[in-house]
Each structure stands twice: as C-alpha cells, then as structure tokens.
Amino acid sequence: MQSSCAEIRSDIRDRVLEITIHRPERKNALTMAMYTAMAELLDAAAKDPEVRVVILTGTEDAFTSGNDLADFLGGSASGEESPVFQFMRALYDFPKPVIAAVSGYAVGIGTTLLLHCDLSIAEDDAVFQLPFVNLGLCPEYASSYLLPRIMGQAKAAELLLLGEKFDAQTAAEVNICNEVVFSGEALERARKLAAALALKAPEAVRLTKKLLRRGTQELGLEIIREEAGHFQQRLQSEEFREAATAFMEKRPADFSRFD
Ligand code: COA
C-alpha cells in the first residue's frame, strides 16, 4: 500500500497499517496532497483484509498543526469535492479501528480528527488547540456537535470560543483522548493496543465499531457537511485573510476594523 505523497508515509506490519504524517519543518501542517494521500490509504485499507487496524501518527514534536494556512490563503477549497472533505469522509466511514498516537502539537483538525478515531493516546507534553475562531473560521468535522456531547456545553464553548491551547491531561479529562503516556511513548503504546486488536475476531470488532457509532453516524455526516459549507465561506472572508496573513507575518491578528 503505497502513499501518493512523500509527506505521508505508510507501512503495514502484522495486519496493522501505520500512517505517519511527516512534514516536521512545517509542524506537519496538512496540504491538499497530504489529505488526498491519507484518504487514498484509508479507502484502500478499508477493503484490504491484510489490514485490521490503523495507527495514525505524526513526528516527534507534532501530530499535526492542522490545515496548511498558506494552502488555505492560496484558495484551496474545503467543500465536499475537496481533498480535506475526502479525507474527513474516509476516516469518518472507516470500518476498522483507528488508533491515534499523538506527540507534540495537535491543532485544528489535529484535535478534531481524534473525535473520529476509536482510541487516542497522547504524550504528556502534547498540546491541543481548536483555534478556529482565532483564525476567523468556524468549527469543523462535527466538532460543534461532538464536543458539547463528550465534555458538556460549558467546556466546549471555552475550547471553541477562546481557542486557547490545552494540555494532554485536560484532553483526557474531557474525553478527547483515552490515555496519557510519557513523552516518546505514544506510538509504542498504540502499537501494543493495535496488536491486541489485530488478534481479535475481525467481524466482531467491525460490528462493535459500527454499533458504537450508529446513534450519531447519519447526523454527524449532516453536521460535517453543514460546517464545511460555513467553513468554505469563512475561508473567503476578510476576517480569515487578516488572521492567516498575521500568522505568516508573525504578528497578532487585528480584527478591530470588522463589524
Ligand atoms: N500552516 C502553515 N505553516 C505552518 C503551520 C500551518 N498550520 N503550522 C506551522 N507552520 C510553519 C510556521 O509558519 C513555521 O514556518 P517558518 O519556519 O517558515 O517560520 C514552521 O511551520 C514552524 O512553526 P513555528 O510556528 O515556528 O513552531 P512553534 O513551535 O513556534 O509553534 C504551532 C507551533 C503549531 C503552535 C504554530 O506553528 C501554529 O500555531 N501553527 C498554526 C496552527 C493553525 O492555526 N492551524 C490551522 C488550524 S485550521
């Protein structure tokens, strides 16, 4: 199973597919080509009996810093035909267990994609953030629905409106991840869990995953689509342009001129 992009690496061993986001010089920010490669790998793995479990991981100091902001400023789409949506859909519909191993930064979709993994392991120095409002954007990947559901309205409002960074302990307390391990140990722990899952009865595992999600599956997709429509519009907004330009220019964003 070959990745179509050098910055997304794949490796199958003992029925476990490891997908590694590897663009450390940009803190693993995701370009359209990287989303496409991950979507292709997941679609292929869904059908491949040689894959029973997927591990999604990054590099030492970043899981992913989210969407590449230069890509977004350059006009890359996030609508339904876009690579971002194709990736979200591939992970959302993926029938086998997915385990995330998080080291370093998990920003934006780096946090929201964890809501669609079955198990997430975070290192104790991992840093999470939902900076959508700070960027003039809005929540994506059903996070506006799933976050209040897993952590309550007040905490979800805090994380989404203030958009501040939070640590692995907090991520575990609010049910974004399952377990916190020492720095450098997330992948090893994920591999242990994946090996255990890969030995279990595969149909029973897939059915259990499906049943666990049946209550929210259809509504979740509807919400992903609704959010993606808003997100796409926000990417055209002056508020986003100011925020992304400010990030590139390494200065704070100034929203004082907006109504
Ligand atoms: N898109 C584009 N480039 C990014 C990026 C992103 N999401 N995240 C990091 N980079 C780039 C930086 O611009 C920097 O480039 P430079 O070396 O040319 O200056 C390089 O990657 C290293 O990042 P830097 O910001 O210097 O690392 P840091 O350790 O100080 O901070 C983050 C790490 C993740 C906190 C910070 O990079 C950040 O906030 N990134 C943006 C996250 C974001 O808003 N994502 C979009 C969500 S929709």
Atom of ligand 1 nearest to the CA of 26: 21
DSSP code at position 117: S
Say what the pLDDT of residue 169 is. Answer: 98
Query: In this predicted structure, what is the pLDDT of residue 154?
Result: 98
Q: How confident is the model at residue 1 (pLDDT cuts 50, 70, 90)?
A: confident
- Sign for the pseudo-dihedral over CA of 216, 217, 218, 224: positive
Residue 5 pLDDT grade (very low, low, confident, very high; cuts 50, 70, 90)? very high
Q: Within a 10 A sphere around the Cβ of 214, how many other Cβ atoms?
A: 9
Give the per-residue pLDDT at 76: 74
Q: Is residue 78 scored above 80 in pLDDT?
A: no
Q: Which of 63, 65, 234 to mutate to test the pocket of ligand 1 (most atoms within 8 A of CB)?
A: 65
In this prediction, residue 196 carries a pLDDT of 98
Which residues make beta-bridge pairs with 55? Answer: 18, 99
Identify the residues whose C-beta falls under 6 Å from ligand 1: 26-27, 29, 65-70, 105, 107-108, 131, 135
CA distance 42 to 206: 15
Task: Give the pLDDT band (50/70/90) at residue 122.
Answer: very high
Confidence of residue 81 (pLDDT cuts 50, 70, 90): confident
Count of all residues that appear for the chain in the document: 259
Q: Are 189 and 181 in contact (CB under 8 A)?
A: yes
How far is the centre of ligand 1, averaged over its atoms, from the C-alpha of 25 (Å)? 9
Q: Taking 90 as the threshold, does the pLDDT of residue 141 lie above it? A: yes
Whole-prediction pTM value? 0.97
Which atom of ligand 1 is least distant from the CA of 165? 35
Q: How much is the pLDDT for 77?
A: 74
pLDDT at 53: 98
Q: How far is the CA of 150 from the centre of ligand 1 (A)?
A: 28
pLDDT in tens, 237-247: 999 999 999 99
105 Cα to the center of ligand 1, angstroms: 10
CA dihedral 110, 188, 197, 36 (to 10 degrees): 40
Q: Residue 85: pLDDT above 80?
A: yes
Residue 31: what pLDDT?
A: 96
State in Å: Cα 28 to ligand 1 middle: 9
Considering the chain, what is the average pLDDT of its residues? 96
Q: Across 92-244, where does the E strand assignment appear?
A: 98-102, 105-107, 119-123, 127-129, 166-167, 179-181
pLDDT (tens digit per residue) in 194-233: 999 999 999 999 999 999 999 999 999 999 999 999 999 9
Question: Is residue 84 pLDDT above 80, yes or no?
Answer: yes
pLDDT single digits (tens) 181-194: 999 999 999 999 99
